[in-house]
């Protein structure tokens, strides 16, 4: 019973990792690629870690897998946010099919420009 659950978790984790790789290759801009890679790979790594912890079966392996999973869950969203913000502020172009840019109206672009003398009136 445990072996079939481990096999199911490993297959689903591998499938999610494959979907993340395909998303990075096929999606049109940095923002959609980043979204696909962070969500699918996090779920894939979680399934792989859970399957590995069940396969090994001892408490030490469970603690190690839980620690790795917690680290991934805590760092992946932060890294994705930092990459997205840096890309947006560097004026990386959005996909042509983007319908709504909510960040454009909230961002004061002048505050991110190089410091210089105030404009002449």
Q: Using 50, 70 and 90 to split pLDDT, how confident is the model at 52?
A: very high
Q: What is the pLDDT of residue 32?
A: 87
Q: What is the pLDDT of residue 12?
A: 96
Q: How many residues does the chain have?
A: 121
Q: What is the pLDDT of residue 119?
A: 59
Q: Is 50 exposed, middle or buried (0-12, 13-18, 19+ CB in 10 A)?
A: buried
Average of pLDDT values for 44-49? 94
Cβ neighbors of 83 (< 8 A, separation 6 or more) are 30, 34
Q: Alpha-carbon Rg of the chain, whole angstroms? A: 20
Does 72 fall in a domain? Answer: yes
Q: What is the pLDDT of residue 89?
A: 84
Does 119 fall in a domain? Answer: no
pTM of the model: 0.74
Number of domains in the chain: 1
Asked if residue 53 lies in contact with residue 5, where contact means CB atoms within 8 angstroms, the answer is no
Does 16 fall in a domain? Answer: yes
Does 9 fall in a domain? Answer: yes
Q: 65-118 pLDDT, tens per residue?
A: 999 999 999 999 899 989 888 888 888 888 888 776 766 655 555 455 555 555
- Its domain, for residue 20, covers 2-111
Does 75 fall in a domain? Answer: yes
Task: Give the count of beta carbons closer than 10 Å to the beta carbon of residue 41.
Answer: 20
Q: 8-22 pLDDT, tens per residue?
A: 999 999 999 999 999
CA distance 63 to 79: 24
* Three-state SS at 58: coil
């Amino acid at each position: 019973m445990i072996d079939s659950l481990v096999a199911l978790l490993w297959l689903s984790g591998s499938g999610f990792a494959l979907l993340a790789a395909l998303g990075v290759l096929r999606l049109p801009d940095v923002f959609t690629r980043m979204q696909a890679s962070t969500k699918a790979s996090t779920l894939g790594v979680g399934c792989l870690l859970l399957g590995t912890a069940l396969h090994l079966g001892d408490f030490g392996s469970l603690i190690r897998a839980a620690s790795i999973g917690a680290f991934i869950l805590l760092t992946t969203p932060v890294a994705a946010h930092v990459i997205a913000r840096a890309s947006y502020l560097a004026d990386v172009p959005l996909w042509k099919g983007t319908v709504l840019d909510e960040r454009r109206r909230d961002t004061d672009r002048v505050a991110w420009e190089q410091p210089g003398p105030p404009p002449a009136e």
